[in-house]
Structure 1
Amino acid sequence: MATYLTPNRHGYSVRFSPFNPDRLVVATSQYFGLTGGGTLFLLELTAEGTLTEVHNYQWTDGLFDVVWSESNPSLVISASGDGALQLWDLNNPKCNPVKFREHKKEVYSLDWSKIRQEQLFLSASWDCTVKLWDPNRQNAINTFSGHKQLVYNAVFSPKIPNCFASVSGDGTLKLWNAHNPSLPTTFRVHDAEVLSCDWCKYEENLIATSGSDGFIRGWDIRNYNQPIFQLKGCSSAIRKIQFSPFSTSVLASVSYDFSTRIWDFKRSIEAVEIIEHHSEFVYGLDWNVLRKGQIADCGWDSLVHVFNPSSLKDL
């Protein structure tokens, strides 16, 4: 396992590059994101199996998420507590980022469309809106209002063009047409705040949600009267979930119970592996799409880990 310490910065998000299997970025905040600034770390896995810092980038407010461009390997976008988005050119660390300012409160989630011809990204905010952006324009293309409480996560469908999902503290999942902000499909998925959602990479109608109730639920968007699976085991809120890029039924999760877990909903309702290498809330999670079986996580203990869970060798 490769580990990196981000001194006096608490981890919120970690993302592998979609172009280079050894590069990743980590969004962090001072003072657990309550006050102070933020630092974006560009890290690299070495041939010796360690993590080293390539560069870091400073912002005046805490950074809560970061996402790579799907078309340019040197561009990333971060989201901060002051409602701003920052487009960084990693090859020019001395240049100020391009800023996007429309949200009224903290921006908590970013996603870049995997459909390359679109070149669009989403931002989800505590102002209860989701915004659709073109990185070459200063103003958002569309604003999506409808959630009654803060929006924690918004993610594009990897299979269905112009479709994305959002989840909120109001307990609902909404499915949106990116070109029609007024008519989302809405259904209640948890009797609690919904903190994360993710689409299956192989089944276009399958989406999973996680909540502050400690449940992970899978839904068929064609028939959402009841979940098609429900996973339980975390003793606290599940902050983030992600489907494996290499398997239909495998997911990973991170939780406020300090754990990272691997699940296979076709095998068991319980986690197939529990990894406990953090001493604080675990916030960030990502699969390496270029290296099978590799995961990164980060947490409020200022640690970033890159590792290969043993259960994935069997799965």
Structure 2
Amino acid sequence: EHTTSLKFEHTFVQNCERVKSVELHPTEPWVLLGLYSGTVSIWNYQTKTEEKSFKVSESPVRSAKFIVRENWIIAATDDKYIRVYNYENMEKIIEFEAHTDYIRSLAVHPFLPYVVSASDDQVLKLWNWKKNWSCDETFEGHSHYVMQVAVNPKDPSIFASASLDGTLKIWNLDSSAPNFTLEGHLKGVNCVDYFESNDKQYLLSGSDDYTAK
């Protein structure tokens, strides 16, 4: 058994706000927060100050991501909409109704103009911003809320989803049906991510059954 000590480097206080999403900017010292109040906020972790904040919706923001190569923020909310903003001038780029229920998670493709969204309507969707945010694919197969989506960093044509139906599913961007399904949790799966260790790639999942696998 290994014991690891962790030290808190910085603490940010967001008064009277429930934080539903966090994202680090890859080059700027920024943390992007998606808030239950319907606001997105950018904090500077070096100065410990809020740099920008703006209201996105009257509904909670459950996922907010940087699209760095476009200088954008994309936010998904409980009103079923996706909204995109330029984070330099706060200009709204677009808003559109993306799902028929709450949107839980977003994943931005590392080099193609794609965003994958996951929703309580049990489907995932692929959005192409070079085609005016058209829906290029709908991914069906889960039987409960889809809680999170993660793109494979080694092969970005593949992504994984976690659902309250107790499964993980692995998908290709160009196919509406899953490649395969992973079962192993006794209750719903809330989160999923890829990681690499000793030149091997793994999926990590967290569940309502009190386990991470």
Would you call these one fold, judging by a TM-score over 0.5? yes
**CA distance in 2 between partners of 1:85 and 1:78 (Å):** 6
Show the counterpart of 1:242.
none
Percent pairwise identity: 24
SS of the equivalent of 1:2 reads: coil
Greater RCO structure (CA 8 Å; 6+ sep): 1
Show the counterpart of 1:53.
50
Q: Quick one: structure 1 residues 204 and 151, their matched pair in 2 at CA, closer, same or farther if it must change by over 3 Å? A: farther
Q: How does 1:54-69 map to 2 (within 5 A)?
A: 54-58=51-55, 59-69=57-67
SS of the equivalent of 1:182 reads: coil
**CA distance in 2 between partners of 1:75 and 1:201 (Å):** 28
Show the counterpart of 2:11.
3
- TM-score calculated relative to the size of structure 2: 0.88
Q: Quick one: structure 1 residues 67 and 204, their matched pair in 2 at CA, closer, same or farther if it must change by over 3 Å? A: farther
- The Cα shift of 1:45 comes to 2.5
Show the counterpart of 1:176.
171
SS of the equivalent of 2:134 reads: coil
Show the counterpart of 1:214.
210
**CA distance in 2 between partners of 1:200 and 1:159 (Å):** 10
Cα deviation digits, residues 220-269 of structure 1 (max 9, x gap): xxxxxxxxxxxxxxxxxxxxxxxxxxxxxxxxxxxxxxxxxxxxxxxxxx
- TM-score calculated relative to the size of structure 1: 0.61
Q: How does 1:181-200 map to 2 (within 5 A)?
A: 181-200=176-195
Letter in 2 for 1:195: N
Q: Which runs of 5+ in 2 are unaligned?
A: 1-8
Show the counterpart of 1:309.
none
SS of the equivalent of 1:71 reads: helix
- The Cα shift of 1:156 comes to 0.7
Root mean square deviation of aligned Cα: 1.6
**CA distance in 2 between partners of 1:80 and 1:187 (Å):** 28
**CA distance in 1 between partners of 2:163 and 2:195 (Å):** 19
Show the counterpart of 1:28.
35
Show the counterpart of 1:269.
none
The alignment status of 1:16 with 2:24, answered yes or no, reads: yes
**CA distance in 1 between partners of 2:207 and 2:100 (Å):** 24
Q: Quick one: structure 1 residues 45 and 159, their matched pair in 2 at CA, closer, same or farther if it must change by over 3 Å? A: same
The alignment status of 1:96 with 2:92, answered yes or no, reads: yes
**CA distance in 2 between partners of 1:189 and 1:97 (Å):** 41
Letter in 2 for 1:212: D
Please tell me whether the aligned partners of residues 141 and 178 of structure 2 are also in contact (alpha carbons under 8 angstroms): no
Cα deviation digits, residues 287-306 of structure 1 (max 9, x gap): xxxxxxxxxxxxxxxxxxxx
Show the counterpart of 2:74.
77
How many matched pairs?
Answer: 202
- The Cα shift of 1:61 comes to 1.3
- The Cα shift of 1:183 comes to 4.2
Q: Quick one: structure 1 residues 89 and 204, their matched pair in 2 at CA, closer, same or farther if it must change by over 3 Å? A: farther
Q: Quick one: structure 1 residues 204 and 97, their matched pair in 2 at CA, closer, same or farther if it must change by over 3 Å? A: farther
**CA distance in 2 between partners of 1:11 and 1:111 (Å):** 18
Please tell me whether the aligned partners of residues 72 and 87 of structure 2 are also in contact (alpha carbons under 8 angstroms): yes
**CA distance in 1 between partners of 2:119 and 2:208 (Å):** 18
Q: Which runs of 5+ in 1 are unaligned?
A: 31-37, 218-315
Cα deviation digits, residues 107-126 of structure 1 (max 9, x gap): 01111122x2x231111000
Show the counterpart of 1:289.
none
Cα deviation digits, residues 5-44 of structure 1 (max 9, x gap): 2222210111110122x111100013xxxxxxx1100111
Show the counterpart of 1:134.
128
Show the counterpart of 1:233.
none
Q: How does 1:111-190 map to 2 (within 5 A)?
A: 111-114=107-110, 116=111, 118-136=112-130, 137-190=132-185
SS of the equivalent of 1:60 reads: coil
Please tell me whether the aligned partners of residues 85 and 100 of structure 1 are also in contact (alpha carbons under 8 angstroms): yes
Letter in 2 for 1:102: A
